[in-house]
Structure 1
């Protein structure tokens, strides 16, 4: 669906097909059509393989194919990183060394086309930063070469875990959704994207459609394209507080400087009374969620606190 979303957003299909041809892969064809999912219009891009192209390949074969092509260094680097992430996830699932990873269904050439085609599509649109909303986990089971597996598939779950990716339930509390995130899609997103929504001026939207018509939600992926505007509107701020009763103003001021230098939005001190009417100071720090760990590290190192309180804003 990533490939379809880039085409719907304006990536030339002929550029993507030319990139695939540059890898000299045989028995592969790509079709693109306008379609709908739950009333949502978008592009359905499908990869078709002949019997020869269905032969399983290894990750190293994919990497060698990409590196031996005439693709740009950016595309080669990103595609290689995606394949290595997929390889790491498969090794985790099967508890085998990376050298012994066997891709099963993911080893056919449609995986190569989906990864490289999606990356070429993003590159042709001039996208240099990619962000993602949390993954919908979905529910139910899928059939695979190994039999019936839970949703998300083990490889998808491993990719999410490797990236510590945020997840959410299926939209509207839908049940028995089937697969909502594929291993290939998860590999691309967890490798190339950051899981937050940036402030940006929206310029274009593309919708990539899945082949399956889902019952309770549109089986589609939305690609929003725009320019980051440098303004941060986020609810991912947290308040970290601690109480200290044995520090001088000079030491507190030094800790405050370190916190501001680290990226704190605000740092302030409040006079308080503790047990037995002891005068003390409450240290309050507002930071973005991603700075929680370094903020706590500074407070534990530079103040006499034995612990902190953390709550969202």
Structure 2
């Protein structure tokens, strides 16, 4: 976990994390001869020698910011601070672009393959950490997120006191968003159309699926241009469910090109094959700024495998 009330500063754009040593019946005070033995139990997926080395280097600290030694005692309820690390993190060989910046916000044009925020095996190679370091803005946070596989526009807030206003704007659907995608053609599909469905958790990992029932998701879909047996589509989501656009297009028989999850899960697919990016782009953002009252409109400069039609 991370916290604002930290005795440690950000390091390379990454905030410190903390762990509170347990004091419940399952972890009685006398069970662990020292801190290292508990950590080896708590993190069985980490090489025990690596944990020992991190303690020896002083990488774990107490609530006063003082390094904990290799033979430090286990003290139930104590808060331990550390910087999360991802050994051998794979670089993402694509650059984010900043298309707008003022005193309040940054509008970034995110490439495919770059996670919005740190998660799992992605830490420094994420949009947020890259921009914190690039702009020297440790308090920068995204107001919303895009999937790692999706390219396009992300709004990030500079000032903590205005963070809630921008995040609420997205949560309350006060932002008009358009996406574009390359997918196949279903000759039986009548477009434009509005697709509504009840979306629930899927049967595999973090996927979603549709079931019968009161719809909780809605997307307007338009065909923009055709290229052989493929087409460029524009989508305007009214709701923001996880994988909504990917699922909705798949359900209409026009699954997005290079999608390893829809319509069929491909667990053996190479999810880091940079030659086959998901053909989904967060294309525009339009909103009234909740702080200044200004009308804002931003458009991505990125292209998919079918070019955007001239406007």
TM-score (norm. length: structure 1) = 0.32
The structure having more radius of gyration, on CA atoms, is: 1
